[in-house]
């Protein structure tokens, strides 16, 4: 009979179970550390170079929105899971794209005619008049949201108010704009 020790093996901290070496922290570090591997991962999925760059960019943008990177024990695996999801979404969007015919690629866009130019000028004038009637906060919030495509949080930070105030100012701005433009019809 062989004597075997009855004690259990020494317990390792949980972090040592998840990765062989300490995980680099921060999205920028991940991009530098795993960028080449991510590129190779996507190129194996039959993406062209420009699409690979687009997918990588979207992966990093999604990672930047995730604030709790310290809870990720295996960043490379997480990065590749996000990349697989983004690549799948990209393929779904790509399937809806309609290719242009060769003739369409060669023809320049038609120049706007005098009626179109006059109509555009009239619309700009009406929009400018409508914006002038809005309260300053609503006007600023609408312009930042529509022209600069800022989120409510970004607008709140820029204007020094809360997100709730921005949301109300934009809603009020749209309401007043509808009233103004409705009167002009």
pLDDT in tens, the chain (185 residues): 444 444 443 343 333 334 444 445 577 777 788 888 888 888 888 778 888 888 888 888 887 777 777 777 888 888 888 888 888 888 888 777 777 676 666 667 778 888 888 988 988 898 888 889 899 999 999 999 988 889 999 999 999 999 999 999 999 998 988 888 777 65
CA-derived radius of gyration, the chain: 27
Backbone angles phi and psi of 144, in degrees to 5: -65, -35
**Six-digit token string for 10:** 């020494």
Name the architecture of domain 20-95. Orthogonal Bundle (1.10)
pTM of the model: 0.40
What is the rounded CA–CA span in Å between residue 29 and residue 23?
Answer: 10
125-184 folds as Arc Repressor Mutant, subunit A (1.10.10)
C-alpha 91, offset from chain centre: 17
- With beta carbons less than 8 A apart as the criterion, state whether 164 and 132 touch: no
Every domain range in the chain assigned CATH 1.10.1740 = 20-95
Domain(s) of CATH 1.10.10.10: residues in the chain:
125-184
């Amino acid at each position: 009979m062989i004597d075997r020790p009855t004690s259990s093996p020494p317990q390792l901290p949980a972090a040592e179970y998840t990765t062989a070496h300490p995980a680099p922290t921060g999205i920028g570090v991940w991009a530098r550390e795993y960028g080449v591997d991510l590129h190779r991962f996507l190129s194996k999925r039959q993406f062209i170079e420009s699409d690979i760059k687009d997918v990588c960019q979207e992966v990093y943008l999604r990672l930047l929105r995730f604030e709790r990177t310290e809870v990720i024990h295996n960043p490379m695996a997480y990065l590749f899971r996000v990349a697989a999801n983004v690549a799948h979404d990209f393929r779904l969007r790509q399937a809806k794209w309609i290719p242009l015919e060769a003739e369409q690629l060669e023809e320049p866009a038609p120049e706007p005619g005098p009626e179109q130019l006059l109509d555009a000028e009239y619309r700009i004038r009406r929009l400018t008049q409508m914006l002038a009637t809005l309260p300053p906060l609503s006007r600023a919030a609408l312009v930042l949201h529509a022209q600069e495509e800022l989120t409510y949080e970004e607008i709140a930070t820029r204007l020094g108010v809360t997100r709730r105030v921005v949301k109300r100012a934009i809603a009020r701005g749209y309401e007043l704009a509808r009233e103004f433009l409705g009167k002009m019809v």
